[in-house]
Every structure is written in C-alpha cells, then in structure tokens.
Amino acid sequence: MARICLFPGTFDPITLGHVDIIDRAIPLFDKIIVGIGLNTAKTPMFSAEQRLQWINEIYAKEPKVEGAIYEGLTIDFCKKNKAKFILRGIRYVSDFEYEKTIADANRTLDKSIETIFLTGEPKYTSVASTIVRDIIKNKGDASHFLPKLVYQSLKQ
C-alpha cells in the first residue's frame, strides 16, 4: 500500500518554511498532496488557483508531490485520496500545542489516519505566511522568505 500523505494548509503564500517541510518529507512518503484548504473564516491574499499554480510549478519535477484544493474536513479529504498520514510543520512549542489539538480531533474522527510532525529548520522558524503577507502588503522585501519562483511572480 502506498504511503500517501496530506500536507494541509492555506499556503497564502507558500513560504520557504513550507518548502523545507515538504522537501524533507519527500523521502518519507510515496506521495505528498499539498492541500490548499479553503477556510471561510479566512480571507486569503492570493487566490486558491494562484497558490495551487505556485505549488505545482515549484514541484513540477518532483513526481511525488502534487497540489490540490479542497473544502470541508481535512480528514474527509484524506479518506477521499487514500491518505493515511497528515503532515504538519512545527516551529515553536505553541505550534505543537495547537496542532496536537487538531491531531487529537482527527484521530477521534478516524483512528487509521496518523498525524506526523516535522520541526522546521531553525533558519525558517520566523517564516510565517501572516508576516510575509504583511511585508508584501507594505511593499517590503519578502525575498528572504519566499521561493524564488513565488517572489519573481509577485514582482511582475
């Protein structure tokens, strides 16, 4: 059975921190679905289609990684795609506390789907999409936090 993993998030925009987690997870799984979850409580800066395009372009040469857009419960999207693992990146202890609560809820909904936590590289701990969006909105230099492809597309 293939080890299929879902890495859910808003990826608004995808940052070097996200790419770090995905890249280090590639050897662990047969397939990683980078799932752009549509959250009605959030107003994204970039369209889901733009975010999907970035993911697909960044990983165009990596057959194990694909992007997708989904609505509803993450656990339901996992079932639909036969994903038995949910990947989450952890930067700080506070991230773990929040993510563990979600992992516990997901385990209650389906015990066969396991959440895997990877800690981010220390150089990316300050990289958060919220901060990056604020830098972009205020015309700052976000190049230190974004994949080159994303940064170049924002400059155009």
Question: What is the side-by-side strand order in the sheet with 114-119?
Answer: 65-70, 31-37, 4-9, 85-90, 114-119
Residue among 18, 51, 84, 88 flagged as catalytic: 18
| Catalytic-residue membership of 91 | yes
Asked if 52 contacts 143 with a C-beta cutoff of 8 angstroms, the reply is no
Give residue limits of the domains in the chain. Answer: 4-155
Kindly state the tokens that stand for 14: 């995808």
Report residue 34 CA to chain centroid gap. Answer: 6
Share of the chain above pLDDT 90, in %: 85
The predicted-structure confidence for 10-41, as pLDDT tens digits, reads as follows: 999 999 999 999 999 999 999 999 999 998 78
Eight-class DSSP state of 4 = E
The predicted-structure confidence for 62-106, as pLDDT tens digits, reads as follows: 999 999 999 999 999 999 999 999 999 998 888 899 999 999 999
Residues 6+ apart with CB under 8 A from 81: 4, 6, 33, 68
Residue among 51, 84, 88, 129 flagged as catalytic: 129
Secondary structure (DSSP) of 17-77: HHHHHHHHHGGG-SEEEEEEE--TT---SS-HHHHHHHHHHHTTT-TTEEEEEE-S-HHHH
Residue among 47, 64, 91, 107 flagged as catalytic: 91
Residue among 24, 31, 42, 100 flagged as catalytic: 42
Predicted confidence (pLDDT) at residue 126 exceeds the cutoff of 90: no
| Catalytic-residue membership of 137 | no
Count of residues in the chain: 156
Q: What is the pTM of this model?
A: 0.94
Asked if 153 contacts 54 with a C-beta cutoff of 8 angstroms, the reply is yes
Quote the Cα angle for 6-50-95, to 5°.
Answer: 45
The CATH superfamily of 4-155 is HUPs (3.40.50.620)
| Catalytic-residue membership of 123 | no
| Catalytic-residue membership of 148 | no
